[in-house]
Amino acid sequence: MSERTKAEAKIGLARFFARAKQILTTDPTGSDEDDRVVEEATAQALARHAAQHKGGMAKVAQLAAYDPLGALGEGSGAGRSALANLWDRAPGVTAAEVSRVIEEDLGAPPQQLFASWDPNPIAAASLGQVHAATGKDGSEYAVKIQYPAIAAALREDVASEAFVRKLAGSEVGATLDGAALEALRAAVLGELDYRAEAAACEKFRAAWAGDEAIVVPRVETSLSSARVLTMERLRGMTLVETASADADTRAQAAAAIFRFAYGSPLVHGLLNADPNPGNYLVARAGDRVKVGFLDFGCAVPLAPELAAGDKELWYGILHDDAFAGAERFRMGLAHMKLLRRADALHSTAHRDWERALATPFAGAAPFHWTRGYAADLARSTRRALAAGGLGLPAGVVLLWRARLGVASVLAMLDSSLPFRRLLVDLIGLGRAALR
């Protein structure tokens, strides 16, 4: 990529976020037609740049497509669709380039390693593309290959502090300290190591083994490397396709995604910090729906004290006694080091955040998880952070970035579910409190 092209791409990104800030600060309703035309145009320009340059820019564009408080606000249209294509349908690289990476890492071209190899990618995203293959034993595989030279490009992207802040999404990045930014930077760079992703995938697969609705693919380690990841191929609808399916399919898919997103850290001490909508496949067989979880590049274990504090926070939300529940909630905040000032507990911003967080779990009745709710949660989180009473330290930033992302993913499925019961089924009611 020439220096001029790089500069043009960064200018395009800067204009996109400058326009986003203008829309959010001068016209919060997003109701004016001229604003909508401009935001659609800037989104499509970003999509073109991101598709060409991939790496960090593509990650920012992917996030903008489903972040309810991103540059597109709560609207929709051609701009959002163009960015959404980057979840799993970005333009790929040539078959020759893919073959070269495989041969460099595994010692032979794909045509020799596999009984059959499809040179046309079945998916492509920010750091790599996926090809279908058949093993010599007849196994069906999905093989992810890292784009040539993408590692250097991503490292250059995330060297910029301002860029890393954008990767946090929903203007949350503006509130992060240096340690939290470094944690986010390290997690994004960790996606370049497919061996680490393979190990993470196997941990999640073991954690959810036997679950009827959650499917994690098996890794074929003998055909994997630092830049090549060979997994069993899962089939199904994309999340975008599922969003147009019948209500029961959407509800079952949403329940599986919720249980995975909340149960992995709360029950198994594992966090998949990239809820990109392109990372799911939904399959229906008879009256049952299964969700395949495909990408574990940005996955980390949670420190035991963080996992304990997180669970305490949710026990506080589930508590039947309002006073005792508030105490447990605040104990969770303290253990997670989320609370920066005690007086913040009485601020309007903090109370709005607590209310938004607790709303889906307030009663036994089903809760309708909409884009409006996801936006409310993101907005209240942003305000609480901006007020200074809450903070996202290094150990917590990935967890809450993932939670806000999952809220948007669930909103895409527009389902009503008994989320309180789903959460209780995962963690119980926690009769014993932390001391």
Give 355-380 pLDDT, tens digit per residue. Answer: 999 999 998 999 999 999 999 998 89
- Judge if 276 and 366 occupy the same domain: yes
- Judge if 286 and 185 occupy the same domain: no
At 241 the pLDDT is 94
Note the pLDDT tens digit of each residue in 208-241: 999 999 999 999 999 999 999 999 999 999 998 9
- Judge if 184 and 292 occupy the same domain: no
Indicate whether 332 belongs to any domain: yes
Indicate whether 434 belongs to any domain: yes
Indicate whether 229 belongs to any domain: no
Indicate whether 204 belongs to any domain: no
Full domain range(s) for residue 32: 3-87
Indicate whether 324 belongs to any domain: yes
Residue where one domain finishes, among candidates 67, 87, 107:
87
- Judge if 377 and 244 occupy the same domain: yes
Give the model's confidence band at 11: pLDDT under 50 very low, under 70 low, under 90 confident, else very high.
Answer: very low
- DSSP β-bridge partners for residue 416: 368
Note the pLDDT tens digit of each residue in 374-410: 999 988 998 898 888 889 999 899 999 899 989 999 9
Q: How many residues does the chain have?
A: 435
Residue where one domain finishes, among candidates 33, 62, 87:
87
- Judge if 156 and 43 occupy the same domain: no
H or E stretch covering 398:
helix 397-413
Q: Is 401 helix (H, G, I), strand (E, B) or coil?
A: helix
Sign of the Cα pseudo-torsion (261, 236, 51, 1, in order):
positive
- Judge if 304 and 388 occupy the same domain: yes
Note the pLDDT tens digit of each residue in 52-73: 555 555 665 555 555 655 544 4
Does residue 51 or residue 285 have the better pLDDT?
285
Indicate whether 15 belongs to any domain: yes
Strand-pair category, 214-215 with 288-293 = parallel
With beta carbons less than 8 A apart as the criterion, state whether 256 and 288 touch: no
Note the pLDDT tens digit of each residue in 170-195: 567 888 899 999 998 999 899 999 99
3-state helix, strand, coil in the chain (%, to 5): 60, 10, 30
Q: How many domains does the chain fold into? A: 3
Q: Is 38 helix (H, G, I), strand (E, B) or coil?
A: helix
- Read off the tokens for 325: 């529940």
- Judge if 287 and 375 occupy the same domain: yes
- DSSP β-bridge partners for residue 117: 133
Q: In what order do the strands lie in the sheet with 280-285?
A: 214-215, 288-293, 280-285
- Judge if 279 and 367 occupy the same domain: yes
- Judge if 298 and 168 occupy the same domain: no
Residues in Cβ contact with 413 at an 8 Å cutoff, skipping those fewer than 6 apart: 239, 242, 243, 250, 251, 253, 254, 257, 369
pLDDT of 283 strictly over 90: yes
- Judge if 323 and 433 occupy the same domain: yes
pTM: 0.84
- Judge if 29 and 164 occupy the same domain: no
Residue where one domain finishes, among candidates 35, 62, 87:
87
Give the model's confidence band at 249: pLDDT under 50 very low, under 70 low, under 90 confident, else very high.
Answer: very high
Does residue 386 or residue 197 have the better pLDDT?
197
Indicate whether 16 belongs to any domain: yes
Indicate whether 217 belongs to any domain: no
pLDDT of 419 strictly over 80: yes
- Judge if 323 and 248 occupy the same domain: yes
